[in-house]
Structure 1
Amino acid sequence: MKKSLVAVGVIVALGVVWTGTAWYTGKQLEGRMAEMVANANAELNKASPEAGLTLSYQDYQRGLFHSSMQLVIKPKAGVTSAILRPEQSIVFNETIDHGPFPFAQLKKFNLLPAMASVHTTLVNNPTTKPLFDIAKGQSFIDAQTRIGYSGDTSSDINLLPLDYVKGDEKVAFSGGQFKADVDGNGDKIAISGEAQSGLVNTTNEYGQKVLMTFNGIKTEGNSSRSEFIERIGSQKGSIDKLAVSIEGKEMAVVEGLGIDAKSELQEDKKHLSGQIDYTLKSLKVQSKDLGSGKLTVKIGNLDGAAVQEFSKLYNAESQKLLADPATAKDPDIYQQRIVELFAANLPLLLKGDPVITIAPLSWKNAKGESTFNLSLFLKDPSTATGEPTSQEEQINRVVKSLDSKLVIPVDMATELMTQIAQLEGYQPAEAAKLAEQQIKGMAAMGQMFRVTTMEGNNVVSSLQYSNSQVTLNGQKMPLSELFGMFGLPDTGAEPAPELEVPPVPALPAVPAVPQQ
């Protein structure tokens, strides 16, 4: 009997403790909500200021074990270029289970203490109604987030499968699973996930039936806050296959498309470096195999403090452009001002003497691979004295050295142009003949103007530059002569002698494109 009373007493005591703790953590969460939303807005503004969006919360109702509220995404006041119109909003219902052992977490047998577990779903309103229509009235987004007492969050985000048919229109989606982990201070973020497949069948403005399908979308990455720029880290993304057809005819198929980007602090902790890799395993257009490609771009020796200053100025000025109705309403003017803004602040990025390399940019088909490599060493123009009096001096203030090389196998280029000619309507034999004529003609013209040379069966062009001295395809010349070859304005030096260019041989007549 006494043991039973003791057991009952323990259960009651645990119930009181749990109830009191749940009430306390619910109150603590409510007190931190404004701070968490403010931090989210700061991240949103830094990551995508051009979106013109802001996050807020409303209708917070706190209970003993559960609370609820709504998160609202809407356009910023006065920003006319936001991706949402002033009357639009995206609203999420948030159902919060209080800690230390949220019920939703216990259902998954997760016994680690947590401040709360939050279930997120999309609200059906005029903005999101089309998405609810194709999701058969369900919330397309369903997320479960664990909030730790340190403020760290771990979210499992599910995108529901879609199967919508209306007349000739069809949308199908396998669904997707994504995971996002953020530490309590927002310093470290990790995101990963995948979606297996999707399909969109619709009609274009010409009344043609268009079918687009994809398979195997994946993403994985992590980032951390940096002293100089907002974030450094890595991010990968890939698509196994993307296909487009019109009226049942395959137009394009892209396979193995991937991007891998990373940035990091260098050993001295004062400079930044980064690298981005693009890969494409196969590109087919109307069943013609055009080949595969890759591109690797690296940049190093970016002065961290200068990058930080550039980022502040660029973000501040771009925000002003977004707030200007005249600029925001005209995409062309906005793009022009953004380019001008970047150019005006570019000298900041040249502090630290950055280095840019392309190694390589390549395109490959069954007959060979063309490659382009570049190594460009820049320097800080602010270290130069006096005012430049010519284009040559202007370049010398910015460029320390350049080394580049282009190699195009004739057979590879001929094969590529043959495929393109067939896409334009030529028969295979005519396309092959035309492609051979074009490549031979371009190679001959390149040699006439000393832009290219022939090495074996490859069209080659190389250019090196340092201290006003240029080496083009093994021939040394002053920079002014190179300018003269391309008809550029006078650089202040003696003009280069005119080249006696023999007439280009006429190419054989091109057969008419047959009617489709």
Structure 2
Amino acid sequence: MKKIALAVAIPLVLIGGATVYTSTQVESTARDAVEQANIQLREMSVGAGADVAVKMLSFEGGLLSSSARYQVDIEVQDSDGEPRQYAVLLEDRIEHGPFPVSRLTNGQLMPVAAQSHFRLERSAQTEALFEAASGVNPLVGDVAFGYDGSQQGALRSAPLSLENEDGTVLVAAGSVNFEVADETTTVRLEGQLPEIDMNLQRRDDGKPVRVKLSGIGMTVDKHDYVDGFGQGPSAITLERMEIQTDNNPAVIIKKASIDEVSSRSSGGFNQSIAYRVGEVGANGQSIRNLALALSLRNLDESSLKALLESYKQILDSGATPQEALDSIADAQQQELQALALQVLEHKPTLALNEFGFETANGAARLSVVADLQAPSAEAFTPDAMITSMLASLKAEAGIDKGLVRDVASLIAQREPQYSADPAALQQQADLTTELFSGMALGAGWFQLQGDRLASSLHYADNKVTLNGQDMSVQEFIGFAFGSVLGAGLLGQ
């Protein structure tokens, strides 16, 4: 019997000792989490037009649990560019490890240092949110802190019903699951917001406007996250967006996304971002597969970090970012230029990987890849600097005549004389297509390949190749200037 009692008592004593030890470490764990959050928030806020910071207001320790209060300070610019400050409060109940009761009741047996349960505190700033949530707390969350410094948790928002003189906004319940590991060098996040339905009226004429968004998602999967740079993808997706004003036909957007990917290679740091829309439709007409994809490759991280830090300091030097940029000192501007030159010395590549869209009868695509370099010391004028910065360039463009005809028809439909006469509409669309094609071919920028207008431009070693024809830079400048004059784009 004594052996059984001893076998039970020993693990209980060990767990109790671990709990007492953990209770002495919880406050430092919470403060470290706040400090890491501020670092991440500051890095993400550069150029975003908003500053967010978290601070701990109080901490009350206990044996099995502790309580804390935090303040989240938010500064954004209003429509006039003036800064506006907001502050929201969070209440936090922190269960001590290694085995918090809430985790055991949910079947989570892995020991953790602490389990946080936080929620939005009711205040004058958040009163409207509590009313919109019908008295339920509009924002709650949980975070498990591992002994290895990892964090894993979830953030949940309640359904909201907002109403004022401008109309109503209904927001479905949303959630964000996140994980931070490997001493904050790994960040994973997945968020979902099923629906936002806005029924408003315009202030100028009182006409109704309805905007409905469905299937909003967000994902982040970054590793080797150091000094604001991490490898891996992130994305924001939207399944469907419907916009309707007054009695006009609704504009429907399907399958929209913003996809970003960062990586490291032997050439340096690489980042790409792509904006895509599966379809935009209105009044029986649609445009599909819209894409704008950009990338920067072969960036030197240390030079890029120094450039961003200098830019960040300049933004912080004024009451607002715009005021800081308007009053930038000569020394600050020279420092930025010097750091930018350091980035160029690593010979980065700037690319418009894809820009285009499709209609029912054709497609248009454009791609541009530019290899950059530091300008030569002899380049004193802006034109000479730009020319010497460009090591090589490759551009490819293609436009189907069917797409030109579809777009011309869509534009002509807005005119009463064509919208009521299909034959006249077809004739006008054909005429516009042939006029556009003739101008493109006559100017020499495009060649006709079947039913497609195609163009290819290459530049390297002070030589330009346009659609297979070689010429010097001076000859190309003369050709380009002549084509602009011939088109009448500069007037007389």
For 1:493-512, what aligned pairs fall within 5 Å after superposition? 501=486
1:409, distance to aligned residue in structure 2 (A) = 1.0
1:483-514 Cα shifts (integer Å, max 9, x gaps): 33444xxxxxxxx8x9995999xxxxxxxxxx
Q: 2:354 aligns with which of 356, 360, 365?
A: 360
Structure 1 residue 366: deviation in Å? Answer: 0.9
Matches within 5 A, 1:336-347: 345-347=339-341
Tell me which residue corresponds to 2:72. Answer: 73
Instruction: Give the number of aligned pairs.
Output: 477
Change (3 A) 1:10 1:399: same
- Is the counterpart of residue 297 in structure 1 residue 289 in structure 2? no
Shift, 1:474, TM fit: 3.3
The answer to whether the aligner puts 1:136 opposite 2:134 as a matched pair is yes
Note the 1:367-446 alignment, pairs <5 A.
367-381=361-375, 384-388=376-380, 391=383, 393-423=384-414, 426-427=418-419, 429=422, 430-446=424-440
User: Mind listing any 5+ residue stretches in structure 1 that lack a counterpart?
Assistant: 488-495, 505-516
Distance 2:279 2:443 in 1: 34
What per-residue deviation string (whole Å, max 9, x for no partner) do you get for residues 189-246 of structure 1?
Answer: 1111222222111222131211111121222221134567533321122111111112
Match in the other structure for 2:343 = 349
1:208 aligned partner, one-letter code: K
- RMSD (CA atoms): 3.4
Corresponding residue for 1:209?
A: 208
- For the 8 Å contact 2:40–2:228, the answer to whether it is kept is no
Go from structure 1 to structure 2 and tell me whether the alpha carbon gap of 1:217 and 1:501 turns closer, same or farther (over 3 Å shift).
closer
CA distance in 1, matches of 2:486, 2:139: 66
CA distance in 2, matches of 1:424, 1:123: 56
1:107-146 aligned within 5 A: 107-146=105-144
Describe the shift of the 1:24–1:390 C-alpha distance in structure 2 as closer, same or farther (beyond 3 A).
closer
Q: 1:124 to 1:84 in 2, by over 3 A?
A: farther
Tell me which amino acid in the other structure corresponds to 1:427.
Answer: S
User: Residue in 2 aligned with 1:200?
Assistant: 198
Match in the other structure for 1:181: 179
Q: Which stretch shows the higher mean deviation, 147-156 or 242-251? A: 242-251
Separation of aligned partners in 2, 1:212 and 1:340: 46
d(CA) in 2 for partners of 1:500 and 1:164?
56
* 2:153 match: 155
Could you say which residue in structure 1 is the equivalent of 2:219?
A: 220
Distance 1:503 1:456, change over 3 A: farther
| Separation (CA, whole Å) in 1 of partners of 2:321 and 2:164 | 36
**Could you tell me whether the CA contact under 8 Å between 1:75 and 1:83 is conserved in 2?**
no
Kept in 2, the 8 Å contact 1:229–1:311? The answer is no
Matches of 2:485 and 2:236 in 1, distance apart?
52
Give distance in 2, aligned partners of 1:82 and 1:9: 70
Which moves more between the two structures, 91-100 or 10-19? 10-19
Instruction: Give the Cα separation in 1 of the matches to 2:432 and 2:341.
Output: 42
CA contact (8 A) 2:350 2:371 kept: yes
Tell me the TM-score normalized by structure 2. Answer: 0.86
8 A contact 2:315–2:325 mirrored in 1: no
Counterpart of 2:87, as a letter, is S
The residue number in structure 1 matching 2:29 is: 32
Counterpart of 1:481 (choices 475, 478, 489) is 475
Contact 2:230 2:263 in 1 (8 A): no
Displacement of 1:140 in angstroms is 1.8
Q: Which has the higher strand share?
A: 2
Deviation at 1:148, TM superposition (A): 0.9
Partner of 1:265: 264
Query: Measured at CA, do residues 6 and 248 of structure 1 come closer, stay the same or move farther in structure 2, by a change above 3 Å?
Result: farther
Q: What is the identity, as a one-letter code, of the residue corresponding to 1:309?
A: A
Distance 1:439 1:24 in 2: 78
